[in-house]
Each structure stands twice: as C-alpha cells, then as structure tokens.
Amino acid sequence: ITLGTTGPKWFSNGRLQLGANSDWAMFHEIFHNTFNGSQFHNGADNAWSEAFCDAFRYMMEKKYLPDPRTKWFLKVDRYSGETYAQVMAKSGDKHFDQKYCYPASLIVRQAGKDPDKLRVLWFELQKLREMKNANVLNTYFGYDMQNGRPL
C-alpha cells in the first residue's frame, strides 16, 4: 500500500494506492485482490467486480467506521430497499448507479446488510459457479451487468 495524491487505486499486480483521506475506499480497493483471485474474474461474471468491491466496502464501513455514515454508504443502504425503477427515477448519475451502487445494493440486500452473511454468500456463489461451470451472477441477482438493467 502506498500513499498517492490522486486518490485510491487498485493495480492488477495487487498494489494499492490510497489518498490521505480515503480510509473508506481502502475497503473497496482491497477486495479487488479477492475478486480477481476468484473464479468470477473470468467471463461475464467479471463485470460484477466493482459491485462486489462496493458491497464489501459497505459491510466494512458498517462494521468498522464510526458514525456519521458517508453519503455513499447511505445511498447504497437506501438503494438496497428500492427497485431499479425507483433508483433510476432519482439517480443523478445513472451510469454510475447502474454499474456500482445499484448492483452493490443487490448484493448488500441478499446478504441482509450483514458482513458475516456476505462472507457466506461469497462462498455459496463460488460453489454455484463451480458446480455449473458457467457464469452465474447475472442470473442469481436478476441483473444484467453488461447492460446495466434488470433481466
């Protein structure tokens, strides 16, 4: 991990760069190593990398960072109880929300907003992918990550 001036970044060699005020982003960037080391890194499931990194960030912010909650956390938390149509109706940045916040909220919802349940979900999904020997995440979450909309 190095300290940079341009903010948080993950590099494919596993190195992380953080900004001076990016403790929240550290969680997202760290999970890239986990995701890229998994079976999901191959094929269409790879499109879910940012959403899983954001779901991990959500869980770690919830567990380890004190109040007040970040605006980002509150947004994902709110989205986890809303439909795609509701989110898109009020989204200020549809492309960002279609790729990051809304899909992350689907994962957060499925894990019951519980960090321990996210861990269980992660391993269950890996078993499912291994069993099917195919991409599973779009179908599992009912969301087409490649096109940013529900199936």
Q: Tell me the average confidence (pLDDT) per consecutive run of 10 residues in the chain, 151 residues long.
A: 56 58 71 90 95 95 88 96 96 94 98 97 97 97 97 97
Cβ neighbours, 10 Å, residue 1: 10
Cβ neighbours, 10 Å, residue 90: 10
Amino acid at 91: S
Total-model pTM:
0.86
How far apart are alpha carbons 127 and 92 in whole angstroms? Answer: 36
Task: Give the β-pairing of 143-144 and 149-150.
Answer: antiparallel
At 101 the pLDDT is 96
